[in-house]
Structures are given as structure tokens and as C-alpha cells.
Amino acid sequence: MTTTKIFKGGLIALTSFGLILTSCSKNADDSTSVAENHSMAEQSNDELDAIGDEAETSINNKLASFKNENTGGILADSVHLTKIVSSDTVSVDIDFGTNGVTCKDGKIRKGKIKIKRVGNHFNQGSIRTLKTESYSVDGNTIEATRTVTFNGLQATNQHPSWTISAEHTITLANGAGTITGSTNRTREWSKGYEQNSLLNREDDEFILTGTSTGSKASGVSYEMEITTPLTIKVACHQIVSGVLVITPSGKLARTIDFGTGDCDGTATVTIGKTSKTVTIKK
């Protein structure tokens, strides 16, 4: 049951920033490309979290059978896994090979991802570290390190929460530039974690807080801050409430308001005195 819980939580990473910020790309200012680059980096990093969850639940170096159901898994069955369990430490090497593997999401991955967890899944203070080696996705080389720490249950509401710190460098294919960044975030599992709800992803909700810094492919740096906690509903695969602000160097801040909780598929983007309602892409 604990295994299912971890896997279910990790998949939510795929429904966060990566599906949202590209909606802003047609706004007036060129620096909306900062949002696109930030979105790409967030999606790449969140995919690493989800891949880590899948690999950790492997059995006898094979993907767990429930991942073949309609759960949104990423890893192809042909990926080579090596899992070693010793006491409370789990190490998993994921090898996509030098020729690459076409995964379930249609993306071609090459290279390796190395994962190490110290401490049992839901023991407060357990830490998972993830690092890539010669890793690429559809020709984009991704150098990334991620550390995810389980904080335990929050005193105020007994919600499970994790702290995530990460750094990445993404070298885009065809000499299109390099995206860099670092992230510090807290992910709170606010609904759907209850024992009688573990097998139902559709009732899951997560709350995100935190900050990021980085630079887009052209070299322009930016800062991102979640100023009002973001709520993600898996039922509609969208952020449904909260506010984040992206500030490119030398440019006006981009304030993105996701509303008050409805799955209406829209957000309001404000740049200076100009606001526009945009459709959130899935």
C-alpha cells in the first residue's frame, strides 16, 4: 500500500508547471519565452521525479505490474533497471543505453539516471537523491541533481509534505542554447492521501510553494516565486488556484493568477497594467 502511495504522489509532478506556462507564449513581450523555458525545465525535472518513483517500485529489476495500467507511467519495459536494497537504503540505476529507448510518453531517452534513497518511504527525514549521467531527452542533454526529503505529517492538518531542492542545466538540441536553474519547493499532499483513497488518482490534490532562479536559452536570467500557494487538481490536470510571479532581468514581472479553485482551464496573466485571460494547455 505504501508503494502505491509513493507512486501515485510522484506522478503528480507531471501535471504541474510543464502543462501551464506555455499558455503564456503569445503575450506581447518577448520575455514570455522565459515562461516557456522555465516551463520546459520544470517539466523535465518533474518527469525525473516520476521516473524515480516508477523505478523505486520495481520488483526483481522489472517494472511493477500496476504501472501497465492507465496510470500515466513513463518508463518503457525495455529500460534496464538495477535495484539494490540494503537495510533502509535503496539504490536504483536506470539505463536507457547509448542508442536510446522510446518511452511510454513518446520521448526518446538516452544515458543513465542514478537514484539513492536513505530511510523508508514515509519515515520523516528520509531522503532521495537523483543524478543524471550523459542523459538526454529528444536530443536535449539534461544535467540534473535532485534531493527530495520527506518532512513527515504537518502538525496543523496531518498532510504529508516533501521538500525538493534541485539544480539543472539543459543543453538544447541543434545549438539552440542552454537553460539553467535551481529550485527550492515544498509539495504538500492535501487530498487523496487517505487510506481508503490511495488507488484513486482522480481525487488527488497537491499544494506547491517555493522559488526558482534560472536563465533562459538566450542568456536572460529570471526569478520565479509562488506568492500564493498553487493547488493542483489531478481530476482536471491543472493548477486551479494560486499565484506565481516570474521576473526576467530588466523586464516587468509576469504575474500568473490561476483563479480560486475551479477547473475552468484559464489563468490571468498580468504584465504591468495589461492583463489577459489565457487558456491553460494540457
> What percentage of the chain exceeds 90 in pLDDT?
49
Task: Name the residue with higher pLDDT: 278 or 9.
Answer: 278
What residue spans define the domains of the chain?
A: 2-73+145-279
The DSSP annotation for the chain comes to: -HHHHHHHHHHGGGGSGGGTGGGGTTSSSGGGHHHHHHHHHHHHHHHHHHHHHHHHT-BTTB--GGGGSSS-----TTSEEEEEEETTEEEEEEEEEEEEEE-TTS-EEEEEEEEEEES-TTSTT-EEEEEEEEEEETTEEEEEEEEEEEEEE-TTT--EEEEEEEEEEEE-GGG--EEEEEEEEEEEEEES-SGGGTT-GGG-EEEEEEEEEEE-TTS-EEEEEEEEEEEEETTTTEEEEEEEEEEETTS--EEEEEEES---SEEEEEETTEEEEEEPP-
Q: Which of 24-38, 44-58, 85-99 has the lowest mean pLDDT?
A: 24-38
pLDDT tens, residue by residue, 14-31: 344 444 444 444 444 544
Q: Which of 51-60, 138-147, 178-187, 223-232 has the lowest mean pLDDT?
A: 51-60
